[in-house]
Chains A and B, each alone.
Chain A
Amino acid sequence: MKIPLSWLREFTDVQLTAEQLADALTLRGLEVRGLERWGANWNKMVIGELLEVAPHPKADRLQLTKVRIGDGPILNIVCGARNIAAGQRIPVALVGAEMPDGRRIERAEKMGIASEGMLCSGQELDATDDGDGILILDASAPLGVPLVDYLGEEVIDVDVKPNRGDLLSILGLAREVGAITGAPVAYAARPLKEGADAVGAGLALRVTDEALAPHVVLRVVDGLKVAASPDRVQMRLKAAGLRSISNVVDATNYIMLELGKPTHAFDRAKVGETVQIRLAKKGESLETLDHEVRSLDATDLVVADERAALALAGVMGGASSEVSPSTTSVIVESAIFAPTSVRRTAQRHSLRSEASHRFERGQERRLAALGADQVAALLTEWAGGVARSGRLVSGAEEAPVTTLNFRPSRVRALLGVSLTDDEQVALLGSIGINADTVADASKIAVTPKRSVSAEKGSARAVRVPSWRSDLEIEADLAEEVARLYGYERIPTTIPSADLPPHRPSPTLLRDRVRRLLADAGVQEVVTHALVSAGHAALWSEPATLVTGPLAASEGSAGGASIVLQNPLSADHDRLRQSLLPSLLDRVDVNLRYGATSGAIFEVGRGYGSTKGGPTEWTRLAIAVWGDREQGAPSAGAAAWNLDELKRLLAQVAHLVGERPGYGASIESAVLHPGINAVITGERVAGVLGELHPASPIWRDEPRILLAEVAIAGLRAGRVAATHVSLPPATPPVTRDIALLIPAATTVGQVVAVARETITRATAVELFDLFDGPPLAPGERSAGLRFTFQPTATGADDEAIAAELAAFEGAVLRACGARVRGVEGQ
């Protein structure tokens, strides 16, 4: 809400500067978004008087003028406007002035005659929309005075919150300013002289739905002449952010800004004999003022006549009854409409207007008649109209007076202040919330739906002003007390009441994982959860990948992709099911920024829609490409590869006591079908591999590797303490097993068999892998080293031997792999 201060001063005395006022309003909860100074850029522009206006000898369109500027020399100025005459006071841009559009005023020859400045139009000053004639000032305008001192305006832009519809008016803001300054606030209504004709002659009002239109007032003004508004009005509207349209439309807008009461003027000649307020009919349509033809819904409230809908009630007028230059008589409609109905209609037609904005926030009933009268008064003043006598009225004008009770002791307890009962009542009184000593103050509204009884004598009653429909409960008054007292005066304390029981942070493990990866040289990223259809299609984790307790704690992937109903763009129209496409996207961006190598990770959520509703799961994703680290000059750089990625994953898995296994590869659009594996384990599961060569961002060099895993406790887990036994004095022993693995078998399968059969081993590592002659094509020779920790008695040799023998048999049966020898001590 933009408030020209000159307008505000019509209702209350303001001694503060604009800056002081802005600060004071902000500290009282009316946040000032900005301060504008109209005319601050009017340099070297002063008020002059036309002494002579004579025709230019050589140009019909130009006139020669002599202009007096205070006591200075008389200026000769050539002017092209036709609306000037001797004796007028006008704005003069002196030589050297810079116009708002950047043009510089120079001494110039115009068709042979020197011109020492320029007479300005309202448009040239950016003050009105009139570019045809010079802006003619009042005869009382002080000569020689800088124009800014006479026409300049300070405008405060206040952010009005949705609960304070009453502040969408100059008068409403004046009340707040009055509460700050202590100065009285008064609205002097313009007296309205009525003509002889009665409003009811040939016009009736019928409201069919009083719930949606509880109070409607019509006035008729005849004999008016539609024209431009007075310059002062145009300037004021412009400063307040509205465009001047015509004196009739401007009159309604002027009162809307002044009182917060939207009204609408219909061309009387285009309206039949009955103004109806009714719900739209099925199939009915209406061309609104913006020249859109809108098909109406049966819940849209319309203003109509006996033939057709004329306007969307409280939202926008219709084109058929629009005020035009030929209009001579108007119906002014000023009504109270149900906020919800207006809001729904405005939303349904995507048609938010200044009027609907105010109706949605509630309207004070008494403004209906006042608004209609004030618009009519302005129409007689600005457009020479004559108001018909009386109003057509439906519904009661006065709303019942509301009282609200509060317990000053509760206000003290809520705010932590020691304000006495009387001090609180006095603060409320400063904003017009006056004490009601008659009312019964025993019922306290704790919420709009729940009241409690106050102890006798502990509560006070106040009368809620008719414009403060936002005050409903005791806590609302507590806020008013705090606001009027000043938040800055409320003490600053530290709460010392009960502490809740300890609950471990859900991020304990997550933070350790993140720290570990960052310390290992992997950069954390945070990417969009909303992705495109193409993204989502790249990869979604199959529900079979993470199962059992791990799925229960980390969330089970799966279900359909969740698509937005109202996406901002197709690039972000659905929730991701996997982090990998988002990471790939960031790899792509960084490759384009020249990062030929890198390593990134994210811990984030995937989302899916299942029968039971939407679900969310938590995963760690890693993407690495190029050099793992910078090499020494002597040695080459070490590139990321599958083993290095596994080394990283092993470090992460170690945090939850897991040694991940690697199982059969899977088919997907994101992973290289020949270079990937699923990660298996009770506490870690997922996938890893190289980027699919069909991916648009795949490149031969550097290769991009990816992993996405579920980790037990990543979502909300703690790092549990483990039982640890003291090691015996005997050193660990190892057994190296050489195996011949047939073509169709993976090392992962062999290791899986080893893990099942050789349960005593504390570690399994692959120390050799070899193929080529003399082995058969596809056949591989593998060396596995098992580490065992013998007990103090040393009686394990036989048990170890038995397990190795069991492995030898099992691996042959399950994988066709043949043990070629066992070595070790």
Chain B
Amino acid sequence: MDLAALEKQLRTLQADAATRISAAASTAELDELGSSLLGKRGAITEILRGIGALPADDRPKIGVVANEVRAAIDASVTARRVALSAGELLERIERERVDATTPGPAPRLGSLHPIPETIAAITEIMSSFGFVVAEGQEIEDDVTNFQLLNIPEDHPSRDLWDTLYLQEPGRLLRTHTSPGQIRTMQAGGPPIRVILPGRCFRYEAVDASHGFEFHQVEGLLVDRGATLADLKGILDELAKGLFGSAARTRFRPGYYPFTEPSVAVDVSWPGSKDGWMTILGAGMVHPVVLENGGIDPETHQGFAFGLGVERIAMLRHGIPDLRAFLENDLRFLAGFR
């Protein structure tokens, strides 16, 4: 084998390869063809095996030719790949096309019940004024639910609370969250800022605005100097937090045996249908109640308030009938997000 023969072989290979490369129908075929020409055991390597028979002077020369041929083949493989892959990409795209506009499977969505969520909303507002949450017991005794709150036995004010009694004498289901005031004061002295949410019970026929089970949030603040003006300030903020910053409050005298003076709070907001809506009762903690809680009314004073959670939730969400809250129709609850 001489230099010329070897060079001819390479040039023939180059010409032949050009034809085959341009005929390759897919990148896979092209890859196979490429490695059969240029790979470790490819055609060029095969031809260059004869190089050992050449004189030492000719070897570099044939090396130059081989590199030329290799580069030429490589270039045409690359060029052909670009051409082929563009088509193949289009083909893949068409092959894989789906209708991506289907609605997609709906996930099951849960939500939190409006009663605990309304409690959470109240808590969130009050916590910004330093009120912390505490929870009490639902089974109470007559003493804490009534007597220590300045509601003596046989007093007509008891008519304000129709009570569910347990068979065990002296025990009852709390009619309000107010006994928490006594328990909070007894558990630790002032300063006190506490929110007491929870379930309450009354002997009450069920209708659109009454139930025998309902929820209240009690608030209590006791320190040295809290005033009725402070009560107004805090509850005005609470009303605005619940019903929007455009809400207006109206404070008027109310009656609760455990506050003196007592306050009823009405709220109205743009779009509220019925003018002033009563949302809560409040007042300065009665000196007798402070004393029953172990606090000297000559050195400390404070205020307390109580909201009906169902009523607040009804007003905020425009719900006409509170029975819906305990009905738990999933279609109704799905409306709360």
Please give the residue numbers on chain A whose beta carbons come within 8 Å of chain B beta carbons, in ascending order: 26-29, 31, 161-165, 339-340, 343-344, 360-361, 413-417, 446-448, 450, 452, 473, 475-476, 478-479, 482-483, 487-488, 490-495, 497-500, 502-503, 505-507, 511, 514-515, 517-530, 562-568, 572, 575, 586, 589-590, 593, 595, 598-600, 605, 607, 609, 614, 616, 627-633, 716
- A648–chain B nearest beta-carbon distance, Å: 11
Q: Which of B223, B233, B260, B291 sits near A497, CB closer than 8 Å?
A: B223
Question: Does B120 make an interface contact (CB < 8 A)?
Answer: yes
Chain A residues contacting B224 (CB-CB under 8 Å) are: 497-498
Indicate if the CB atoms of B109 and A521 lie closer than 8 Å. yes
Chain A residues with Cβ below 8 Å from B227 are 413-416, 493, 495
Q: What class of interface size applies to chain B in its complex with A?
A: 35 or more
- Quick check: is B102 within 8 A (CB to CB) of the other chain? yes
A517 and B110 form a contact (CB under 8 A): yes
Q: How far is the CB of A538 from chain B (nearest CB, A)?
A: 18
Asked if residues B326 and A526 are in contact (CB atoms below 8 Å), the reply is yes
Which among A507, A590, A614 is the interface contact of B139 at CB below 8 angstroms?
A614
In the assembled complex, B331 has its CB within 8 A of some CB on chain A: yes
B176 within 8 A of partner (CB): no
| B-side contacts of A482, CB under 8 Å | 228, 253, 261
> What string of 1s and 0s marks CB contacts (under 8 Å) between B164-196 and chain A?
111110010100000000000000001111100
Chain B, Cβ-Cβ closest to A505: B133
Q: Among A360, A520, A523, A572, which residue has the most Cβ atoms of chain B within 10 A?
A: A523
CB closest residue in chain B, given A519: B110
* Distance between Cα atoms of A488 and B132 in the complex (Å): 29
Q: Is the CB of A490 within 8 A of B132?
A: no
Looking at chain B's contact residues, the main secondary structure is mixed
Pairwise interchain contact B333-A29, C-beta atoms closer than 8 A? no
* B223 and A415 contact, CB distance less than 8 A: no
Which residues of chain B are within 8 angstroms of A162 by Cβ–Cβ distance? 155-157, 159-160, 255
- Chain B residues in 8 Å Cβ range of A488: 250-252
Interface pair A593/B223, CB less than 8 Å apart = no
- The 0/1 profile, CB within 8 Å of A marked 1, for residues 121-142 of chain B is 0010001011011110111000
B132 touches A530 (CB 8 A): no
Q: B253: which of A446, A483, A605 is its contact (CB, 8 Å)?
A: A483
With A and B bound together, what is the CA distance between A356 and B130 in angstroms? 46
Taking CB atoms, residues of chain A closer than 8 Å to B261 are: 414-415, 475, 478-479, 482-483
Residue contact B232 to A29, C-beta cutoff 8 Å: no
Stretch at the interface among B29-37, B53-61, B83-91, B280-288: B280-288
Q: A599–B284 contact, CB under 8 A?
A: no
Most A CB contacts (10 A, CB to CB) among B127, B199, B260 go to B260
B234 in the interface, Cβ–Cβ < 8 Å? yes
Which of B13-21, B73-81, B111-119 lies on the face that meets chain A? B111-119
Q: Does B218 contact A (CB under 8 A)?
A: no
* Chain B residues in 8 Å Cβ range of A492: 229, 232-233, 236
User: Can you list 9 contacts pairing A with B, beta carbon distance less than 8 Å?
Assistant: A414-B261, A447-B288, A478-B260, A478-B261, A490-B228, A490-B229, A492-B232, A500-B194, A520-B110
Q: Closest CB of chain A to B153's CB: distance in Å?
A: 9
Q: How far is the CA of A530 from the CA of B202 in the complex (A)?
A: 11
B106 on the A face (CB < 8 A)? yes
Query: In the complex, are the beta carbons of A415 and B297 less than 8 A apart?
Result: no
Q: B110, B111, B129, B166 — which one has the most chain A CB atoms within 10 A of its CB? A: B110
CA distance A436 to B15 in the complex (A): 131
By the criterion CB–CB under 8 Å, are A616 and B137 in contact? Answer: yes
Please measure, in the bound complex, the distance between the C-alpha atom of A633 and the C-alpha atom of B104, giving whole angstroms. Answer: 9
Bound-complex Cα distance A448 to B152 (A): 13
Q: Which 10 residue pairs spanning A and B have beta carbons closest together?
A: A29-B253, A416-B229, A416-B227, A521-B108, A161-B255, A479-B261, A495-B230, A498-B191, A518-B110, A497-B223
A162-B160, A506-B133, A600-B328 known; A523+B284 contact, CB < 8 A: no
A514-B288 contact given A500-B191, A605-B138, A632-B105, CB 8 Å threshold: no
